[in-house]
Amino acid sequence: MSLAANDPRQRDFAHLFRWGWRVVWRGKWLIAAVLVLLLAPVVAYLALTPPLFTAEAEVLIEAPEATDSLGERPGTTRIRLSEQAIQTEAELLSSSLLIRRLVARLQLDRDPEFNVRLREPTLLDQVRPMLSLTYWLPEELKGQRDLDSLGADARARMDEARIMNSVRSRLQVRAQRRTHIVIVQFTSSDREKAARIVNTLTELYLLDRLEASFDDARRVTAWLSERLESLRRDVNIAEAAAETYRAERGLRRRSDRGGTVSDQQLTEINSRLVLARADLAQKSARLGQIRALQRNPRGVDTASDVLQSGLIQRLRETEAQLQRDVSEQTRVLGDRHPRLVGLRNELESLRATIAGEIAKIASSVQGEVDIAATGVRALEQELASLRQQTNVDASAEIRLRELERDADANRSLYEAFLARFKREAEQERIQRANARVVSPAEIPSGPSAPRTRLILLMALAVAGSVGIGLVFLLDRLDNAVRSADEAETLTGLPTLAMVPRGRRRRGKTAEDSVFPDARSPVANAFRTLRTALALPDVARPDAAVGSAAGARTVVVTSSLPQEGKTFISLSLARMFARAGERVLLIDADLHRPRLHQALGFPGERGLAQLLRQEATLDEVLERDALCNVDVLPAGRADHVEDRLFGTSFADLLTNLGTQWDRVIIDSPPVLAVSDARLLGALADQMIYVVKWNATPRDAVRNGVKLLRAAKAPLTGVVLSQVNMRKHARYGYGDYGQYYSRYADYYGR
C-alpha cells in the first residue's frame, strides 16, 4: 500500500468526495429537472433570436506635426499622443454628428432594422414590452398625452434621435491599449450591411477630420490676415516716429558710417590729445634726462640730443686731441712748462664751449616741452566742451535707439506673421486627416450573436450548479438518517445492522413474516445483529453474571415511538432462540405496550403485576410457539410509578438472569419518558433503534446524549424499516447497498 493511501488527509478527501458523489447521485433526477427547466427557455430564446453579424475595422490615429509658437515645423517631429487623446478620437467616432451623417448617407431611417415604425412586430417584440413595469401603467403616468401635444418638427426630431440611438446601440468603438489603433465594430442582422456601415463610418470620420483641418487652416489664415494688417500699421507708425525724432535731433542713422558730427569730432580730438600727451611726455623725458646729466657732467656725452649735435661732436673730438697732447707733453715737459700750461688752458676753454652748447640744447628742449604742454591743455579744453555736447546727443540717441528697437520688433513680428500667412495659405490646399484606415471592414463569415455554444455551455453550467446546489441544500435541510455512515457520525456508535422493511404475508403480522424465508434480507439482517451482540468485545465489561452461562441483558430503545423497537426486539429474541439459547423477552413499555398484540396474547397481566407482587412469574409468563421464546408482557398499569424500576426490578433481572441465557427488554422511547434511561443502567447491552429516513437527527442526538448521561451501555445503532431499493438507488456506500446482491446470491 502506498504512503498516500495511509495519509489521513487523503482518506478524508476520498471520504468527502464519495459523500459528495453520493449526494449528487441521489439527486440526479432533481438535477435533471432543473437542467430541463432552465435550459428550455434558453433553447427557446436561441431558436427565436435571429443571428447577428459584426463587422470590424481598424483606424490608425496619427499625431500632428509639432509646431512652434508661430507654426514653424522643426523637421518631421510629431506630437506624442496620449491615451486620453486616443480615447477622445474613439468617442468622436461614435458622436452624434457622425451618426447623423451616417444615417443620411446610407438612408438608415428607411431601414426597418433601425426604424421601429417600419418593422413588422414579431412575437418577441410583442412580449418584450409586457415585461416592463411602465407597460401596465395608465396613459396619464406614461406621458402619452404630452407626446400627443408635440408638433410635427418635434416628432421628426424625436424619430431621428430614436433612429440614431438604435444605430449607436449597435456600434462599438474602443481604443486598443498601448497602441494608436481604434477598433470600430457594428452589429447587424445583415452581414453586408454591417460591413458597409463600418466602412462608411470610417470614411465619414476621415472626411470630418480633413474638414476640421481645413476649417482650422481657414480660421488661422483669416486671423493672420487681420493680424498682419494691424502689424503693418504698427510698423509704419514706429518707423515714422524714429525718422521724425532723428530729423529733429540731427542724428544720423545707425547704418551711416562715422556716427554723428559730435562723435566724429570727439574721436578726432581724443586721438590728437593722445598724440599730444605722448609727445609732451617724450619731450619731458628728454628734458629730464638732460637736466639730470647736467648735474653729472660725466654722463652728458651719453645724452641723445648731445650725441645728435655735430658741433658738440667736433668739439669733443678736439677735446680728445688736446687731452692727448696734454698727456704727451706732461711726460716730456714739466708741469709748469709754458707750453703745457697753454695746452691746459686751451682744453678748459674748449670744455666751457661744450658746456655752453649743452645748455643751449637744454633750453631748446625746455621750450619744446612748454609748447607741447600748451597744446595739450588746449586739446583738453576742447575735449571737455565736446563731451558736454556729446552727453546731450547721447540722451537723444538713447531715445532714438528705443524708437528704432520698437520699429525693428514690429518689423520682425510682421515678417514672421507674413511668413506664417504664406505657409498657411499654401498648407490650406494640402491638408491631411492625420488618420487612416489600416484594416477596412470585411463581410463577416459567421454570426457573432447569439453565441449559441457559449450560451448553452453557460446555461448548462448555471443549471448544473443550481441543481447541484439545490441537491446539497436539500440534503443539508433533510434532518433524517439514511445511512450507516450518517448514523455512526451522528451518534459515535457503530451500526450493528440495517433491517429492511418486512413484507407482510396474508393473514400474518410483520413479525411473523421474518422467519418463513430464512434467506430473506430481513432474516440476514437479524443474523448480523445477533452476531454483533454475541461478539465478546461488544458485551459490557461489567455485565452482571447470573449463571455459569453468562446471561446478558439487552435493552432495545429508540428516540420516538413507532420506530420498530418491538419488531426488532421480538425478531432478535427469536434469532437467539433459534441459535439454541434460552431467551426471555420482556415488554417494559408500560405506557403503550404492543408486544402482546404482535404475538396475539391477552396482555392483561404481565410485568406490572409481577412487580406489584400481584402475580407470580409462572402466572404472567407466555411462550412464543414459533421459536419457543419466553415472553413477559407489560401488563396493564393504570398508574406508572418510578418505583416499578427501582430495586425490585433490579432484583427481578438478577433472578431472571439465572434462568435464561439472554434477556431482551423492549423499552419505551428515550425522549418520551425516562424509563429507558433507568433500564439502561441495569442492562449489559443497549441497542438504539433509528427509523430509516424518518427519525430526525436532533432526536437521535438528544436521545443518545441522555443515555450517555445516564451511563447506559450503548452498544450500537440499528437502522430499521430500510427501503432497500431507495437505499441502493441513493448510493450511500454502506453494506446495505448490496443487500439485493446478497439476496440473489444466497436466496434462490
Tens digit of pLDDT for each residue in 568-615?
A: 999 899 989 988 899 999 998 888 888 888 888 887 888 888 888 888
C-alpha cell at position 188: 447587424
239 occurs within a structural domain: no
Alpha helices in 616-696 (DSSP H): 617-620, 647-657, 675-680
Rounded mean pLDDT of 112-135? Answer: 72
Strand pairing partners for 190?
A: none
Rounded mean pLDDT of 238-267? Answer: 65
Residues 336 and 410 in one domain: yes
Of residues 89 and 134, which shows the higher confidence score? 89
Residues 529 and 576: their CA atoms lie apart, in Å, by: 10
Residues 539 and 317: their CA atoms lie apart, in Å, by: 173
Q: Is the pLDDT of residue 197 over 70?
A: yes
CA distances from 419 to 70, 414, 497, 683 (A): 9, 9, 109, 120
Of residues 406 and 618, which shows the higher confidence score? 618
Longest C-alpha distance within the chain, in Å? 218
pLDDT range class, residue 259, cuts 50, 70, 90? low
C-alpha cell at position 363: 633750453
Rounded mean pLDDT of 230-239? Answer: 79
Q: Which parts of 510-640 are beta strand (E)? A: 552-558, 583-587, 622-624, 629-632
Lowest mean pLDDT, pick from 302-306, 469-473, 613-617, 701-705: 302-306
The predicted pLDDT at position 469 comes to 92
38 occurs within a structural domain: no
In 3-state terms, what secondary structure has residue 285?
A: helix
The predicted pLDDT at position 257 comes to 47
In 3-state terms, what secondary structure has residue 427?
A: helix
Residue 300 CB contacts under 8 Å (≥ 6 apart), including other chains: 293, 294, 306, 358
Instruction: Specify whether the CB–CB gap between 634 and 590 falls below 8 A.
Output: yes
Residues 13 and 677: their CA atoms lie apart, in Å, by: 38
The predicted pLDDT at position 346 comes to 73
Residues 357 and 506 in one domain: no
Residues 361 and 477: their CA atoms lie apart, in Å, by: 148
C-alpha cell at position 659: 434462568
pLDDT range class, residue 306, cuts 50, 70, 90? low
Q: What's the mean pLDDT when you consider all of the chain?
A: 78
pLDDT range class, residue 555, cuts 50, 70, 90? very high
Residues 267 and 371 in one domain: yes
DSSP symbol at 669: P
The predicted pLDDT at position 220 comes to 74
Residues 378 and 498 in one domain: no
Residues 492 and 407 in one domain: no
Q: Model pTM?
A: 0.51
Residues 333 and 413 in one domain: yes
Residues 368 and 508 in one domain: no
Q: What is the sign of the dihedral through the CA atoms of 678, 679, 685 and 686?
A: negative
Assign residue 619 the CATH number of its domain.
3.40.50.300
178 occurs within a structural domain: no
Rounded mean pLDDT of 107-127? Answer: 79
Tens digit of pLDDT for each residue in 442-474?
A: 999 888 888 888 889 999 999 999 999 998 888
Instruction: Specify whether the CB–CB gap between 158 and 405 falls below 8 A.
Output: no
Q: Is the pLDDT of residue 730 over 80?
A: no
Q: What is the sign of the dihedral through the CA atoms of 410, 414, 415 and 420?
A: positive
Of residues 555 and 230, which shows the higher confidence score? 555
Owning domain of residue 387? 261-427
Q: Is the pLDDT of residue 49 over 70?
A: yes
Tens digit of pLDDT for each residue in 670-697?
A: 988 888 888 888 889 999 999 988 889 8
Q: What is the sign of the dihedral through the CA atoms of 100, 101, 106 and 107?
A: positive
214 occurs within a structural domain: no
Q: Of 405, 427, 449, which one is at a domain's C-terminal end?
A: 427
Q: Of 409, 427, 445, which one is at a domain's C-terminal end?
A: 427
Q: Of 385, 402, 427, which one is at a domain's C-terminal end?
A: 427
DSSP symbol at 298: G
CA atoms in the 13 A half-sphere facing the CB of 400: 19
Q: Which of 723, 663, 721, 704 is nearest to 557 (CA)?
A: 704
Residues 689 and 549 in one domain: yes
The predicted pLDDT at position 75 comes to 47
Q: Is the pLDDT of residue 666 over 80?
A: yes
Residues 382 and 284 in one domain: yes
395 occurs within a structural domain: yes
Residues 347 and 494 in one domain: no
Q: Is the pLDDT of residue 237 over 80?
A: yes
Tens digit of pLDDT for each residue in 63-80?
A: 776 454 444 554 445 567
Residues 411 and 515 in one domain: no
The predicted pLDDT at position 503 comes to 66
Strand pairing partners for 720?
A: 691
User: How many domains does one find in the chain?
Assistant: 2
Tens digit of pLDDT for each residue in 39-48?
A: 999 998 888 8
189 occurs within a structural domain: no
Residues 551 and 699 in one domain: yes
297 occurs within a structural domain: yes
238 occurs within a structural domain: no
